[in-house]
Amino acid sequence: MAFCREVGTPVQQFVTRSDLGCGLRGLHGEAGVSANSLWPNLAGQKRDYLAKQLKAFRDQDRVDPMMNAIVQSLSDADIEALAAYYSSLKP
Amino acid sequence: MAFCREVGTPVQQFVTRSDLGCGLRGLHGEAGVSANSLWPNLAGQKRDYLAKQLKAFRDQDRVDPMMNAIVQSLSDADIEALAAYYSSLKP
Among B37, B48, B62, the residue with its CB nearest the CB of A47 is B37
Task: Please report how the helices B76-88 and B47-58 are oriented relative to each other, as an axis angle in degrees rounded to 10.
Answer: 140
DSSP A37: T
Q: Are the beta carbons of A39 and B62 separated by less than 8 Å?
A: no
Among B41, B61, B62, the residue with its CB nearest the CB of A46 is B41
pTM above 0.90, yes or no: no
pLDDT given at position B20: 57
Residue of chain B nearest A60, judged by CA positions: B62
**Is the distance from CB of B22 to CB of B4 less than 8 angstroms?**
yes
Percentage with pLDDT > 90 across chain B? 36
* Reported confidence tier of residue B45, pLDDT bands at 50, 70, 90: very high
* Chain A nearest C-alpha distance from B35 (Å): 9
Q: Are the beta carbons of B37 and A46 separated by less than 8 Å?
A: yes
The closest of B52, A34, B21, B11 to B1, measured between CA atoms, is B21
Residue A17 contacts by C-beta under 8 Å, 6 or more apart in sequence?
A: A6
Q: Per residue in A44-87, pLDDT tens?
A: 999 999 999 999 999 999 999 888 888 888 889 888 988 998 89
